[in-house]
Structure 1
């Protein structure tokens, strides 16, 4: 069944209804077909550290057009709820932390004749911004109204200036999102060019560097047209009012001063108009300004109305993604959560196929992987289910980056690998795709070679990360020398224990692909290496009356105990032994070897007690008060699987209890509705799996069973993720949910089910059904075989 259309746009907090200012039908809402975009609230996760991008974009679009705000803190996605607008730019990330990236190809409307484009033209907003899928509206204190729409490679900006006032638009090539963290991660403009042609359009390029991934110089090309004739237009360059030059003559980014220091040079153009309404079309390319012109003219031809672009964008989101998930649900909040999370999950990566950097290739190319360390646990497995064709392209792209640059990325942006927070986690993604049947045009010989290189070759430490100078975090596994020598990682390497946890999973991933490719010696070798996390298990470490935790280990084999409290990870950052989680949390990380973990924890009963301790309020004195000082941290990915691990001890009811609590306590369709950084869709995908009632164990075919939220949910699987074509579906139903959340019974494909897990082949490879009966009381329904623990031999 398809979702009944609920009239109206549901908004919350700063999401202002557009009904008063813009006709809804003109923006693309069909009265004949379900419009799932009406449940998407773009400002969800823009506060409370979620860092979501609320502007306009298409699925996997290169262009993400939105406002850039300044108030003295990092605006990771460009947007901040308060501050001054510095421009509207075409390039952004979404939901990321670390440091801002992009904020380039910018325009700023000014209700005045601009005498000095180097002056501070930033302004506050007169009202809260408003947004729907594909449409964004911003009103400055000058009463200039800016409306935005976008295609894959181009943006459309419509400015409405106050009647009788001068109207100017400033193009700023040198504009970037700044960083205020003081970690050397700020972006820099290093040069560029801009030309106004005889027909009045402008084109050129800007070159920039740095940002979160410490990227060297990268160049973006642009091409812009104004469909409204300009009264005058001129380029400019200068570092101060005194040396401001019209027109711009050269491309240097810095200029010398009398004391031998340098000043940043800014570059751009000023257009003046007599009309109060100005339409601007801008395209981008990573290849050339000619390609940028081709992109904008192909995707947004001259005189295209903004409403037309919005309509097309809504239709694309509905048909390509949102409409693949349908439900009988009528609860507004649940619908908003479902479709807002689906939308936010696939704003990244960016599909830059045809714009490969520095090499010619017929393979797909995806960038803005920010980062796989965040995404491999939940997002990539759901990506495969929801977008099997794009997912196969994504896998091929990872392998093609290896072919041409020598390494697959763990993180990548602006065509450059870096920074790897832990292991070589593209290995996990490739393994997950392989064991779930992704074949198509994927060259698995090359894919396996890329994984083996990660496992065996130490990457060069270039560029050197000043926060972690001892080894590469650019790509590959920087701490591999210890891993190969000791079968664990010493504190000589930053993030030693969390890296070891990752490397164990990476080696497990490699063993699975080796087995599938009929390489038994390799499969055995890497499966054995995947157990190396055990070498960090300090059986004498104690905390809260529990014994045995992961801990740092020295080259002489002794554990570092005097400085490591299992409840503490110091700063939990780059220079610490544990990254973004405590030893308590990381001690549940080897989900490929849980049977062994249970034995080390003292048996199933003790394991359950230990797991439950994660969720007790107040036990973590250094924890986040926002999360009741629990050991469990819903804002960081190392804890993602923990609520579901009760399934390994025949306590599926406790998985339901704690997973549902986390979802209901820390997620909402509001601006503060994510527990932390979205991390490019990681948080959204965790919640979506919770709504479905499953949890994936990446690199395996196993899904742990939780409890579904909705009466009926249907996912159109397309080709099922295996590239075999055809139309398949996965359906989850539940009865009794009005009584409670606990599973009373379950049938899978019409057969009674007594396991707390199922496999890919059960419901996803060829489609399938899960029918839950829910109730108020926990029952012992899952008496069958425990979930597989392959590294344990179980």
Structure 2
């Protein structure tokens, strides 16, 4: 899920001044500390400006609690570096999403005191209370966030799994009583019903609200429990709009049709004795009940120990990131920060809500905030599989359990709700890849049942699960434009992009069928995997090139969509999930014509052969048609491998890192899509590009002298070594490769290397060589290469 039209103009502007790689690498690393701490090279603020929407606050790996100060503008991730004011501190967020904001429920707002201690002279309303802050004061680290507000208050936060811990330091207040209040609001202002209460003796604030997801249907209930430590209670009460009182102690809001209005602010407050300088607020959250929210806080942080909680969170992050190590000799701090920050962001979502799912009883893990699998199946899950296969196992098990209870695998899911499907049924790809890469503890029988249902049964609402147009898919071999589909409902758009995605989904199902010994199913789905060609029109031309995917109607006749349409050069914002969203999704037919990873040999042949393919792919990158801020653009960076020119893949990766991926607050193209952009940069710098749904890693030289990855199940270490490493990134072309001392000419490798360990030694030079260029060296393809 990508950018709203209002942010695209800024995103497509030049990012960070097109930083030059040689400049960065020549910044000497000689001054680095002798003791390496990975957290020194993680910057959570990367991507918090210019529509990046990265979550900058405190969280644990895949944690449910995500605490940060919320901006009043462009606040999908909570805090935005290019916002000017803060509306509160809230405890749950998503990271890097497009569309509307999500979560940010029940924010706390600290106030140094009401003038003359008059409750009605304080400002409570969401739209009015916002306060400025100092960007220079911000400290963002894994597990910790700190900010100084213009009110003189310092706000700090850290977390456990389901609990946020805040430390508010107030200015000397004299005779005024500092206040903290909790608002029954969320970032998208979607609340319908809500209740908040405060205990007059302890100051505990509890509450519940009903909210809407940001990119899906339905609603969800969330509960919170705030306890305080460090100061005596002065008084308590509730507020509605800008009126407050000590009685009653409970406030309720109703679903009265009011939406996005200042009257949405209502909640409860606790004030502290005049002169109080520091208050710690513990906020437990739960989807189950208020009691569970309180229990989460009491169990996870019983002692209100801020420094201890912060230290524990940061220890967890160090351990989580320790599966990867690098030899960064000669590499700038800048490049190391790009690498480690991307790896960090890949561990923010999906979020582990195990034990917090009120929808069904299950002993299986439950993960949420899949924004969206259409985005994440292309890089995030491949990186998690490499560095944290046990977490990937839990995520796949969760997807299968969602199928058991909801009837279909999700393609997007958030806040316990079904999210919108953007293309194909891409969980099929993840499940097949999990099988091929020996992800453990999976119920493969149910998994196979789930992917077959995606391929064969059209749901009533295929806008939120499964696939639409299956009758046309089976009978015509493509999804036609203006399809007649009385069997279900969904957006009758994206006929071209859905066709190529369905074809690849079916290819992955075929591969899983073959692995499970289901020969008839293999034959059926491998045939459907060739359906992409049914929308390929060799007569469509664009910018001097012939042959593109094209509009095709149910009667077999051809229509026309300009191949440049919805590219970075022409009407980029015209292909979304709206009723007139056209026949490709978030991209052009220039982009989607390259999406045949199951049969690149046939695509290369259709595009005129090897030289014509390489020429077109090069032009695609250099012309400005490709926008690397959309995940469909990831694979084309490396598709030169299929044309026998792997050196051009390395060249292209270095063209985007660091020009598009760097350490500025605008240091990613577009939004992060839950860590997708971070996964792209980290995988690229490791030196392998995984082809989603296949047991194939395209080999590239790493951005470091050496990268080591420890497998989380076998404990084996895979080492990728750049023998002639050039920290100026001039010698980036592979000359030869050995695997465990033996010559390796394939320009790809399989997952056994990472599972069983070994050493891949790569020798580089200043020009392309003949390594990996022969037909026998190319990645697998359904058809045979003809060059």
TM-score (norm 1): 0.87
Determine if the alignment matches structure 1 residue 663 to structure 2 residue 673: no
SS of 2:673 mapped into structure 1: coil
Q: Is the 8 A contact 1:372 1:426 kept in 2?
A: yes
In 2, Cα distance between the equivalents of 1:416 and 1:554?
34
Q: Which moved more, 1:780-789 or 1:538-547?
A: 780-789
In 2, Cα distance between the equivalents of 1:157 and 1:343?
22
In 1, Cα distance between the equivalents of 2:783 and 2:436?
19
Equivalence for 1:156: 165
SS of 1:647 mapped into structure 2: helix
Determine if the alignment matches structure 1 residue 727 to structure 2 residue 715: yes
In 2, Cα distance between the equivalents of 1:776 and 1:564?
35
Q: Is the 8 A contact 2:701 2:732 kept in 1?
A: yes
Determine if the alignment matches structure 1 residue 207 to structure 2 residue 207: no
Q: Is the 8 A contact 2:219 2:417 kept in 1?
A: no
Over the aligned positions, Cα root-mean-square deviation in angstroms equals: 2.4
1:587-626 equivalences under 5 Å are 587-617=593-623
Structure 2: where are the runs of 5+ without partners?
1-15, 17-32, 483-491
SS of 2:131 mapped into structure 1: coil
Equivalence for 1:414: 415
Equivalence for 2:485: none
In 1, Cα distance between the equivalents of 2:130 and 2:773?
63
1:130-155 deviations in Å (ceiling 9; x for gaps): 22222211111111111111111111
Q: Is the 8 A contact 1:253 1:266 kept in 2?
A: no
Q: Is the 8 A contact 2:170 2:178 kept in 1?
A: no
In 2, Cα distance between the equivalents of 1:348 and 1:148?
19
CA 1:532 to 1:339, structure 2 compared with 1: closer, same or farther past 3 Å? same
Q: Is the 8 A contact 1:168 1:270 kept in 2?
A: no
Q: Is the 8 A contact 1:161 1:167 kept in 2?
A: no
SS of 1:791 mapped into structure 2: coil
Q: Is the 8 A contact 1:398 1:409 kept in 2?
A: yes
CA 1:477 to 1:167, structure 2 compared with 1: closer, same or farther past 3 Å? farther
CA 1:189 to 1:87, structure 2 compared with 1: closer, same or farther past 3 Å? farther
1:380-426 deviations in Å (ceiling 9; x for gaps): 11111111111111110000001011111111110112111111111
Q: Is the 8 A contact 1:135 1:149 kept in 2?
A: yes
In 2, Cα distance between the equivalents of 1:529 and 1:476?
17
Equivalence for 1:712: 706
1:59-78 deviations in Å (ceiling 9; x for gaps): 0110110011114x454444
The structure, 1 or 2, with the larger RCO (C-alpha pairs under 8 Å, 6+ apart) is 2
CA 1:255 to 1:498, structure 2 compared with 1: closer, same or farther past 3 Å? closer
In 2, Cα distance between the equivalents of 1:34 and 1:705?
28
1:145-175 deviations in Å (ceiling 9; x for gaps): 1111111111111111111353433433422
Determine if the alignment matches structure 1 residue 125 to structure 2 residue 133: yes
In 2, Cα distance between the equivalents of 1:69 and 1:375?
26
Q: Is the 8 A contact 2:184 2:196 kept in 1?
A: no
In 2, Cα distance between the equivalents of 1:527 and 1:772?
35
Q: Is the 8 A contact 1:89 1:105 kept in 2?
A: yes
1:253 is displaced (CA, Å) by: 2.6
1:521 is displaced (CA, Å) by: 0.5
Equivalence for 1:476: 466
Q: Is the 8 A contact 2:368 2:413 kept in 1?
A: yes
1:643-686 deviations in Å (ceiling 9; x for gaps): 21111121111111112212232111221111111111111111
In 1, Cα distance between the equivalents of 2:722 and 2:183?
54
Q: Is the 8 A contact 1:153 1:296 kept in 2?
A: yes
Q: Which moved more, 1:42-51 or 1:479-488?
A: 479-488
CA 1:299 to 1:546, structure 2 compared with 1: closer, same or farther past 3 Å? same
1:764-775 equivalences under 5 Å are 764-775=754-765
In 1, Cα distance between the equivalents of 2:463 and 2:777?
37
SS of 2:685 mapped into structure 1: helix
In 2, Cα distance between the equivalents of 1:279 and 1:446?
47
CA 1:690 to 1:324, structure 2 compared with 1: closer, same or farther past 3 Å? closer
1:545-583 deviations in Å (ceiling 9; x for gaps): 211101111111111126665665661222221111111
In 2, Cα distance between the equivalents of 1:353 and 1:108?
29
Alignment partner for residue 480 of structure 2, among 470, 474, 490? 490
In 2, Cα distance between the equivalents of 1:528 and 1:117?
65
In 2, Cα distance between the equivalents of 1:168 and 1:419?
44
1:4-83 equivalences under 5 Å are 34-71=36-73, 73=74, 75-83=76-84
Q: Is the 8 A contact 1:329 1:335 kept in 2?
A: no
Equivalence for 1:582: 588
1:379 is displaced (CA, Å) by: 1.2
In 1, Cα distance between the equivalents of 2:304 and 2:54?
31
In 2, Cα distance between the equivalents of 1:357 and 1:538?
50
Equivalence for 2:783: 792
1:92-171 equivalences under 5 Å are 92-113=93-114, 114-115=119-120, 116=122, 118-119=124-125, 120-128=128-136, 129-165=138-174, 166-171=176-181
Q: Is the 8 A contact 2:542 2:563 kept in 1?
A: no
SS of 1:792 mapped into structure 2: coil
1:321-470 equivalences under 5 Å are 321-329=321-329, 331=331, 332-438=333-439, 440-461=440-461
In 2, Cα distance between the equivalents of 1:485 and 1:192?
53
1:294 is displaced (CA, Å) by: 1.6
SS of 2:193 mapped into structure 1: strand
Q: Is the 8 A contact 2:548 2:589 kept in 1?
A: yes
Q: Is the 8 A contact 2:235 2:272 kept in 1?
A: no
In 2, Cα distance between the equivalents of 1:602 and 1:580?
26
In 2, Cα distance between the equivalents of 1:76 and 1:498?
28
CA 1:187 to 1:261, structure 2 compared with 1: closer, same or farther past 3 Å? closer
1:235-291 deviations in Å (ceiling 9; x for gaps): 4253564x989325453334589xx99985543111111211111111111111221
In 1, Cα distance between the equivalents of 2:60 and 2:75?
25
Equivalence for 1:703: 697
In 1, Cα distance between the equivalents of 2:403 and 2:68?
32
In 2, Cα distance between the equivalents of 1:593 and 1:233?
70
Equivalence for 2:312: 312
Alignment partner for residue 190 of structure 1, among 168, 193, 218? 193
CA 1:351 to 1:77, structure 2 compared with 1: closer, same or farther past 3 Å? same
In 2, Cα distance between the equivalents of 1:346 and 1:262?
35
TM-score (norm 2): 0.88
Determine if the alignment matches structure 1 residue 174 to structure 2 residue 180: no
Determine if the alignment matches structure 1 residue 85 to structure 2 residue 89: no
Equivalence for 1:624: none
SS of 1:59 mapped into structure 2: coil
Q: Is the 8 A contact 2:133 2:150 kept in 1?
A: yes
Equivalence for 1:251: 252
Alignment partner for residue 747 of structure 1, among 722, 738, 743? 738
SS of 1:731 mapped into structure 2: strand
In 2, Cα distance between the equivalents of 1:167 and 1:611?
65
In 1, Cα distance between the equivalents of 2:210 and 2:403?
25
In 2, Cα distance between the equivalents of 1:52 and 1:396?
27
Equivalence for 2:517: 518
In 2, Cα distance between the equivalents of 1:500 and 1:697?
19
Equivalence for 2:27: none
Q: Is the 8 A contact 1:237 1:247 kept in 2?
A: no
1:485-523 deviations in Å (ceiling 9; x for gaps): 321112222111111121111111111111111111011
1:475 is displaced (CA, Å) by: 1.2
SS of 2:602 mapped into structure 1: helix
In 1, Cα distance between the equivalents of 2:750 and 2:262?
60
1:590 is displaced (CA, Å) by: 1.0
In 2, Cα distance between the equivalents of 1:300 and 1:340?
27
